[in-house]
Amino acid sequence: MKKLFLLLLILSSMFLTSCFDSKEVDNMVYVVAIGIDKEQLGQYNYTFQYALPLNISKGSSGDEEPLQCESIKSTNIYSAIDSFSKIISKEITLSHLKLIAFSQDIAFDGLEKFKPEVLSNVEILPSACIVITKTDAKEYLENVTSPLELNPAKYYNFAFDEKNSPFIEAFYLKSFFEKSDYLIPLVYAKDNTSDTDGAVLFKDHKLVSHLTPDEIPYFKLLSGTLNSFNIDFSSQGFSAVVTQQKKPFINVEKDNLNIYITLYVTKEIHGNPPKDADNMINNKIRNKCLNIITKSQSKNADILNIKATLRPHFLTLEQYEDFGFYSKYPEIYFDIKVRS
Amino acid sequence: MTLKSKEAIALSVNLICAKTFLMVPIFFKRLAESGSLILVAYIFTLAFAFMFVYLFTGKIKIPKLLIPLISVAVILVCSINLFEYSRTVSALFFKSTPLFVIFLFFAVAMTVGAYSHIGKLNLFFVPIIYITVFIMLFFTFSDGNYYYLFPIMGKGFKTVFGDGFFMLSSLFEAIILFFIPEMLEDKKDTKKVAAFTLIFSFAIYLVITAACLITVHTDLPENCFSPLFLILRQIKMGTYFQHPDTAFLIIYFISSFLYLSGMLFFLCNIWGKMSKKALYIPLALLILILALNGDKLMPLTLSLNKVLWVFPFILPIFSRRSLK
């Protein structure tokens, strides 16, 4: 009898509360991207790009686009969402948000203001990508309509998946949480799709420099995120597919401020290579990587997170902070070895 | 109701480790930063050392005078944790559900759990909970930055070993080990239960704190309710399993339900060899009423943390004296 009573109690707690806060798909608006542009008087223009499930379900037979944009001027994202929900008259969910696009004006001023706004929202997944737009973020979102993929959220996953292209160094919201110096893709709309023009370099959340698309594979090689890419030596009549074997090994000499980075790659050479083709490839990789490091040293932006690699050399955090990494970073001697 | 040794290990491991779902690893991190692993090792060594004196060498005889004091402490700790569990579930998952409904759900679940066979429930669910946690944390470790485990002494010797001493309060639930012999089927298993409980709990605390260190490097968000939730959100588990929140919600519910049931069971069983089932509902109601005033209880938590570490110490001391 007691067991029956307990069973009824447990079952009743399950069945009597099942529809209490249920959410119907029809009543929701799924925002897949947010664009943020700078306006006057401390205001920002928030552009919400949201999916239209009915148009998605029509598939390729439908003429209507699967995405729509709505812009709201506001001082912060929360009041913008409130205003947006008032216009749209449905419940807004950010759980499918894949992209947050900032205009370059905001990037120059600094992204730090937006850090608590986007991070404190539990709905936004840390795997959402952050990009900087060459034009206005609103213009970018209005022109990107995911023609290659019916599901717009999936499109952004593909477009900014760094495994798909050596020229994309994706920057996720979770990295925004961890670092103050980083690289973010610079994007623009081209023929209704999103294209990248390298990446922009941030120091203390402020835009300070630019890396060209050609430099991105070398940066990925340094940070250990590269799959493979092609190096062209057309004047010498050959090319090589370079594949990263494993993450680079960083050896730090704390007292002399010397850092030696060893890159592990395999090379597949095509065409008619000269005898010293292997050395030529190694030298090109070494020089290009050193150029990126010099660029980051000139802006005092620790994009390779060298500061973290120094941590095991100290016993307490106090000693580590007293070391004053940023005052020494521009003077650090770097050398790179490429091993096959 | 008596417990088998495996059931007793599962029950006490969950009582000690259920707090890893709440803020405890974050408190470790805030206090000692990268020295958190040393802090965990330090407080477990202290706990183990004092329990060793009692559980491995002395006879089991707890002074009756301490029982009301321990009961009050257990009721307060249980109420505060009921408040924390309900608030976290409400803030993270059931925003539109009134907080009172969640409180009531936990209170009912707590009573039902205590009435049913708590040992079997724990033995079935506890391995599932912590194996799931370890599997999810595997992704963190495979993608984490191990440099953030250093400098190994974090905020320095004084902070880790001086201020860290008071973190022993986070292991308050380990006092169940002093009462476990009364609940065991075979009292000879006491040492085995104590040793395995402390080793498993230490491993769980160490892994979750390490995951917290390598995943959450900088300032913690203000509205952080659960370190495990924070860690799991950082993991991207492929294209098809992007929301580990669901798995977290299930294991969080089960662990908190087992913790509350276990505490209620413990509370009613420390008064004697016989289980006091009649006390379950009144005590659950008392805990619920206190938890409903959780906001007022929160300042008390800080004071309690300064006092709770005393229990694992005074129990061996008083018990040894009683032997003389």
B chain contacts of residue A119, beta-carbon cutoff 8 Å: 221
Structure tokens at A79: 């009041």
**CB within 8 Å: B151 and A311:** yes
Cβ atoms < 10 Å from Cβ of B182: 16
> End-to-end distance of chain B based on CA atoms, in angstroms?
31
Q: Residue B20's closest CA among B112, B93, B129?
A: B129
Tell me what pLDDT residue A289 has. 92
- Choose from A4, A22, A92, A122 for mutation: most chain B CBs within 10 A: A122
User: Which residue of B155, B157, B223 is in closest CB contact with A120?
Assistant: B223
User: Which residue of A6, A308, A317 is in closest CB contact with B33?
Assistant: A317
Give contacts of B 274-313 with A, CB under 8 A.
Answer: none
Q: Specify whether the CB–CB gap between B116 and B264 falls below 8 A.
A: no
Q: Between A312 and A192, where is the model more confident?
A: A312
**CB within 8 Å: B150 and A126:** no
Residue B297: pLDDT over 50 = yes
Tell me what pLDDT residue A57 has. 61
pLDDT band (50, 70, 90) for residue B290: confident
CB pairs under 8 A between A and B: 83
Residue B63: pLDDT over 90 = no
Q: Is A19 on the interface with B (CB under 8 A)?
A: no
Tell me what pLDDT residue A115 has. 77
**CB within 8 Å: B243 and A125:** yes
A chain contacts of residue B216, beta-carbon cutoff 8 Å: 177
pLDDT band (50, 70, 90) for residue A61: low
Alpha helix stretches (DSSP H) within chain A: 2-15, 53-58, 77-88, 104-109, 114-119, 137-143, 152-159, 173-178, 216-223, 277-298, 306-309, 317-322, 325-328
A chain contacts of residue B140, beta-carbon cutoff 8 Å: none
Mean pLDDT for A55-84 is 77
Tell me what pLDDT residue B205 has. 94
Mean pLDDT for B256-262 is 91
| Residue with the two structure tokens 């010797």 | B157
A chain contacts of residue B152, beta-carbon cutoff 8 Å: 312, 315
Give contacts of A 136-175 with B, CB under 8 A.
Answer: 157, 172, 174
Q: Is B93 on the interface with A (CB under 8 A)?
A: no
Task: Choose the weakest-confidence range: A46-50, A119-123, A244-248.
Answer: A119-123
- Choose from A7, A164, A311, A325 for mutation: most chain B CBs within 10 A: A311
Q: Is B218 on the interface with A (CB under 8 A)?
A: yes
**CB within 8 Å: A317 and B147:** no
Q: Residue B266's closest CA among B247, B278, B256, B280?
A: B280
Question: If you measure CA to CA, which chain B residue comes closest to A23?
Answer: B96
**Residue A209 belongs to what H/E stretch?**
strand A206-211
Q: Specify whether the CB–CB gap between A294 and A274 falls below 8 A.
A: no
- Choose from B143, B146, B153, B213 for mutation: most chain A CBs within 10 A: B153
Residue B19: pLDDT over 70 = yes
B chain contacts of residue A93, beta-carbon cutoff 8 Å: none
**CB within 8 Å: A317 and B151:** yes
Q: Between A331 and B317, where is the model more confident?
A: A331
pLDDT band (50, 70, 90) for residue B146: confident
pLDDT band (50, 70, 90) for residue A162: low
β-pair partners for A45: A37, A73
**Residues constituting chain B:** 324
Alpha helix stretches (DSSP H) within chain B: 5-17, 24-32, 36-52, 66-92, 99-115, 118-143, 157, 176-183, 190-215, 227-234, 245-269, 280-292, 294-307, 310-323
Question: If you measure CA to CA, which chain A residue comes closest to B90?
Answer: A21
The minimum CA-CA distance between B323 and chain A, rounded to whole Å, is: 42
Convert the pLDDT of each residue in A105-154 to its tens digit.
Answer: 999 988 888 877 776 677 777 778 889 999 888 888 888 876 666 677 77
Convert the pLDDT of each residue in B78-89 to its tens digit.
Answer: 998 898 888 888
**CB within 8 Å: A314 and B151:** yes
β-pair partners for B241: B237
Tell me what pLDDT residue A16 has. 61
A chain contacts of residue B92, beta-carbon cutoff 8 Å: 122
pLDDT band (50, 70, 90) for residue B324: very low
Structure tokens at A45: 């223009």
Residue B126: pLDDT over 90 = yes
**CB within 8 Å: B96 and A21:** yes
What proportion of chain A, given as a percentage, has pLDDT over 90?
Answer: 17
Whole-structure pTM value: 0.84
Structure tokens at B305: 């943390």
Q: What is the largest CA-CA distance in chain B?
A: 65
Mean pLDDT for A22-39 is 82
Q: Is A305 on the interface with B (CB under 8 A)?
A: yes
User: Which residue of B96, B145, B221 is in closest CB contact with A308?
Assistant: B145
Q: Is B221 on the interface with A (CB under 8 A)?
A: yes
Instruction: Collapse the DSSP code of B14 into the 3-class scheme (helix H, G, I; strand E, B; otherwise coil) and give the result.
Output: helix
pLDDT band (50, 70, 90) for residue A319: very high
What proportion of chain B, given as a percentage, has pLDDT over 70?
Answer: 88
Tell me what pLDDT residue A62 has. 56
Q: Is A16 on the interface with B (CB under 8 A)?
A: no
Radius of gyration for the alpha carbons in chain B, expressed in angstroms and rounded: 19
User: Which residue of B101, B147, B156 is in closest CB contact with A308?
Assistant: B147
B chain contacts of residue A308, beta-carbon cutoff 8 Å: 145, 147-148
Highest mean pLDDT among B30-44, B127-141, B280-294: B30-44
Give contacts of B 39-78 with A, CB under 8 A.
Answer: none
Question: If you measure CA to CA, which chain A residue comes closest to B218?
Answer: A178
The minimum CA-CA distance between A314 and chain B, rounded to whole Å, is: 5
Task: Choose the weakest-confidence range: A176-190, A288-302, B238-252.
Answer: B238-252
Question: If you measure CA to CA, which chain A residue comes closest to B32?
Answer: A317
pLDDT band (50, 70, 90) for residue A292: very high
Tell me what pLDDT residue B220 has. 63
